[in-house]
Structure 1
Amino acid sequence: MSAAKDLLTPGQLAIVRQRSDIRGTWAVVHAWGVIFGAMAVFVAFPNPLTYILAVMVIGARQLGLAILMHDGAHGILTHNPKLNAFLSQWLCAYPMMAETGTYRRYHLKHHANTQQPEDPDLILSAPFPITRKSFRRKMIRDLTGQTGYQQRKAQILNAIGKADWPLEQRLRHFWSKLGRATVAQLAIFTVLAAAGHWYLYFVLWLVPFLTWQQAITRIRNIAEHAMVPDDNDPFRHARTTKANLIERALIAPYWVNYHVEHHLMMWVPCYNLPLARRFLIANGHGPRMETKENYVEVIRMATSRPDTDDKPGSVVHNARRQRVSGTMGEGFAESQDAA
Structure 2
Amino acid sequence: MPAAKRIRPLDLFSREEWDHVSERSNLLGTGTVLHAWAVIALAMAAAIWQPVLIILAIPVIGARQLGLAILMHEAAHGGLNSNGKVNDFLGQWLCAAPVGAHLRNYRGYHLTHHKYAQQPEDPDLALSAPFPVTRTSLKRKIIRDLTGQTFLKQRRNQFANALGLGIRKSKGTVNRAQSAREAVIPFVATNLLMLAALTLAGHWWAYFVLWLLPLATWNQLVTRLRNIAEHAVVPDHNDPMRHARTTLASGWERLLIAPYWVNYHCEHHMFMHLPCYRLPRAHKLLAKKGITAQMEVKRGYWGVLKEASAKPEKAAAAA
Q: TM-score when scaled to structure 1?
A: 0.86
CA distance in 2, matches of 1:249, 1:312: 40
Q: Corresponding residue for 2:106?
A: 103
1:266 aligns with 2:269: no
User: Residue 130 of structure 2 aligns to a residue in which SS?
Assistant: coil
8 A Cα contact 2:48 2:206, kept in partner? no
Structure 2 stretches lacking a partner, 5+ long: 1-5, 167-173
8 A Cα contact 1:134 1:310, kept in partner? no
Name which of 306, 309, 325 aligns with 2:315: 309
8 A Cα contact 1:94 1:180, kept in partner? yes
Q: Report the alpha carbon displacement of residue 307 of structure 1 after superposing the two structures with TM.
A: 2.0
1:255 aligns with 2:261: yes
Q: Which amino acid aligns with 2:158?
A: Q
Within a 5 Å distance, the mapping from 1:226-245 to structure 2 comes to 226-245=232-251
Q: Corresponding residue for 2:29?
A: 24
Deviations 1:201-253 (A, max 9, x none): 11111111111000011111110111101111010000000101100000000
Q: Corresponding residue for 2:215?
A: 209
Q: Corresponding residue for 2:59?
A: 56
Moved more, 70-79 or 260-269: 70-79
CA distance in 2, matches of 1:199, 1:40: 13
Q: Report the alpha carbon displacement of residue 98 of structure 1 after superposing the two structures with TM.
A: 0.8
Identity %: 52
8 A Cα contact 1:116 1:122, kept in partner? yes
8 A Cα contact 1:260 1:289, kept in partner? yes
CA distance in 2, matches of 1:2, 1:84: 26
1:73 aligns with 2:79: no
8 A Cα contact 1:60 1:212, kept in partner? yes
Name which of 62, 83, 88 aligns with 2:91: 88
Name which of 198, 202, 217 aligns with 1:196: 202
Q: Which amino acid aligns with 2:218?
A: W
CA distance in 1, matches of 2:128, 2:318: 18
CA distance in 2, matches of 1:295, 1:77: 27
8 A Cα contact 1:131 1:309, kept in partner? no
1:161 aligns with 2:167: no
CA distance in 2, matches of 1:283, 1:156: 49
Moved more, 194-203 or 226-235: 194-203
Q: Report the alpha carbon displacement of residue 176 of structure 1 after superposing the two structures with TM.
A: 3.8
Q: Corresponding residue for 2:8?
A: 3
CA distance in 2, matches of 1:151, 1:63: 15
User: Residue 252 of structure 1 aligns to a residue in which SS?
Assistant: coil
Q: Which amino acid aligns with 2:98?
A: P
Distance 1:127 1:162, change over 3 A: closer
For the aligned residues, what is the CA RMSD? Answer: 1.9
Q: Which amino acid aligns with 1:13?
A: W
CA distance in 1, matches of 2:45, 2:144: 28
Q: Report the alpha carbon displacement of residue 309 of structure 1 after superposing the two structures with TM.
A: 3.1
Q: Corresponding residue for 1:45?
A: 50
Q: Which amino acid aligns with 2:44?
A: M
Q: TM-score when scaled to structure 2?
A: 0.91
8 A Cα contact 2:246 2:266, kept in partner? yes
Q: Which amino acid aligns with 1:266?
A: M
Q: Report the alpha carbon displacement of residue 177 of structure 1 after superposing the two structures with TM.
A: 4.5
Q: Following TM superposition, where does structure 1 have runs of at least 4 consecutive aligned residues deviating by more than 6 angstroms?
A: none
Moved more, 6-15 or 236-245: 6-15
CA distance in 2, matches of 1:54, 1:98: 23
The answer to which structure, 1 or 2, has the higher relative contact order (CA under 8 A, 6+ apart) is 1
Q: Report the alpha carbon displacement of residue 190 of structure 1 after superposing the two structures with TM.
A: 1.9
Q: Which amino acid aligns with 2:287?
A: I
8 A Cα contact 1:133 1:310, kept in partner? no
Q: Report the alpha carbon displacement of residue 93 of structure 1 after superposing the two structures with TM.
A: 0.5
User: Residue 241 of structure 1 aligns to a residue in which SS?
Assistant: strand
